[in-house]
Amino acid sequence: MTTRIAVVRGVEQINGGELGIYSRLRKFGYDVELLCNTRSRITEAEAGMRIRRRSTPFVASRITQTVPGGFLVGLVSPYRYYHQYLTGFSKAVRDDDVLCPVDLGHPTSYQSIQERKLGKKVVVQCWENIPFNWPHDRPLHEHFEAVLDGADHFLAFTQDAERALSTMGVRSERLSRLNIGLDLDHWKPGTDPKPPGEKLRVLFVGRLHWSKGVHTVIEAIDQVRTPVELTIVGAGPEETRLRWLVEQRRRRGNATAATAVRFVGPKFGDELVRLRQTMDVQVVPSIPTPQWREQLNQSMLEGMACGLPPVASQSGAITEAVTDGENGWLVPADRSVDLAATLERVASDPDERLRRGRAARGRIERDYELVRQSQALADVMRTKIRPP
C-alpha cells in the first residue's frame, strides 16, 4: 500500500510556497494531502495537493472572528491558540500513515503526537529559532514538551532552528536540516533589461506588522537625498499607522516622503513576479524582539530568485541567505540612519545592484531549488520515517 502523508496546518494563513516540497513527494511514490482549517482560503492549485478541511472549536472560532488576532483567546492560558485546533482530528487522519505538522507550539502538532499510539509517524517541521520560547504556564508547557519528546523526527528549515532544537535536547538522529524549495521557472528575473529610472525603486513584500520594520524604511526615506520610490505590498495590523506616518510627513511639508511611498495591497502569483521584475532592490527591515526574530522570510527568497538583491536587517535567519557585499546589503535592525546611508550607496551604483542581483539568483539556484529540496525531503522520508 502507498504511504499516506497528511501535511497538517491549523492556522488560517497558509503559505502555499512553503508546501512545495511536500506536494512533490507524489513524484517519489507518496500519497500526500493537506489537512487544514475550514477558514483557510488556500486552494488545491496553490497547495499543489488535495485538501481536506476540518472546522475549529466553535466558541474559539467565534471569538477570533470578532477580536483581531484572537487576542481575547490568548488572555486565558489553557485556551491560548485554542482556535488553531482541528475538530474531529483523529477521524480525519485515520487512514494516514505520516503526519507533518508545523512547529512545537501549534495545537495540531500536539494533536498529531496523540495519534502516535495508533502507529502513526509524526514529522514536525520547525521554524522556531529561540529555544524554550513558550509560556511556562502548565497547559502550554506540557504541550510543547509532549511534542519535543514524542515526535519521530524534526525538519529544521534554517540553521537557527536546528540550533534551537539541539539546545532543547533533540538528538541528531531525530533531526534533519532542509531548505524550502522555490519553483525557479516561476520566480525568475525578467527577460528584458530594466529600463533606467530617475528613482531607486525599492520593494517591500510582507505582513504589515511592527516587527517587520516598515516604519523604519519610511523614516529612512526622510533622510535619503537621492530620489527613492518605495512600493509596499501586503496587508496587516500596522497599515493604518504606516499610512498615518506618511500623511504626517505630507502635512509637515516633507513632500519627498509623502510622494515616495505607495501602498498597493497584497499581490500574488504572476502579478507579483512582474512587479518584482520592475524593481531595483527589495528591503527586508525586520526587527528582532525577545520573543521573535526573523525565521527566514520567504518573500525575500522569492525576490532573490527574481534577481532582486535585498537590503536586509541582521535578524535571525536572514543572514543565512544574505551575505553582505556578495548578494545583498545587511544593516543593523531598527536603525533608520544606517538604512538611509545604505540606500544612498545602492542608488549611486547601478552596476553593483546588477552584480548582487545576479549573485542573489545564483544563491537561490544553489540552495533553494524546488526539485533538489524535494529530493532531500523524500530521502528523509524514505530512510528515516517510512518508505512509499
pLDDT (mean) for 2-30:
93
Average confidence score pLDDT of the chain: 90
Q: Specify the residue for cell string 540553521.
A: 159
pLDDT (mean) for 93-102:
97
Together in a domain, 109 and 235? no
For 320, the domain range is 200-367
Together in a domain, 235 and 101? no
Residue 345 lies in a domain: yes
Q: Specify the residue for cell string 537621492.
A: 226
Give the C-alpha separation, 260 to 221, whole Å: 8
31 forms beta bridges with 4
In the predicted structure, residue 44 carries a pLDDT above the cut 70: yes
pLDDT in tens, 227-263: 999 999 999 999 999 999 999 888 887 766 667 899 9
Together in a domain, 212 and 345? yes
Residue 110 lies in a domain: yes
Together in a domain, 287 and 334? yes
Together in a domain, 249 and 350? yes
Q: Binning pLDDT at 50, 70 and 90, where does residue 163 land?
A: very high
Domain count, the chain: 2
Percent above pLDDT 90 for the chain: 75
Together in a domain, 225 and 171? no
Give the C-alpha separation, 172 to 161, whole Å: 13
Together in a domain, 358 and 256? yes
Residue 189 lies in a domain: no
Whole-Å CA distances, 225 to 200, 329, 347? 11, 19, 10
**pLDDT score, position 78:** 42
141-155, 181-195, 348-362 — which one is most confidently predicted on average?
348-362
In the predicted structure, residue 64 carries a pLDDT above the cut 50: no
**pLDDT score, position 297:** 93
User: Helix, strand, or coil here: 316?
Assistant: coil
What single letter denotes the amino acid at residue 196? P
4 forms beta bridges with 31
Q: Binning pLDDT at 50, 70 and 90, where does residue 72 land?
A: very low
Residue 232 lies in a domain: yes
Give the C-alpha separation, 286 to 299, whole Å: 12
Residue 103 lies in a domain: yes
Residue 325 lies in a domain: yes
Together in a domain, 175 and 242? no
Give the C-alpha separation, 61 to 83, whole Å: 6
Residue 227 lies in a domain: yes
**pLDDT score, position 136:** 65
Q: Is residue 38 within 8 Å of 319, Cβ to Cβ?
A: no
Together in a domain, 343 and 376? no
Beta-carbon contacts of residue 181 (< 8 Å; ≥ 6 apart): 20, 21, 24, 368, 369, 370, 371, 372, 373, 374
> The CATH number of the domain where 121 resides is what?
3.40.50.2000
**pLDDT score, position 133:** 86
Q: Binning pLDDT at 50, 70 and 90, where does residue 59 land?
A: low
DSSP 102: B
Beta strands in 296-342 (DSSP E): 310-313, 329-331
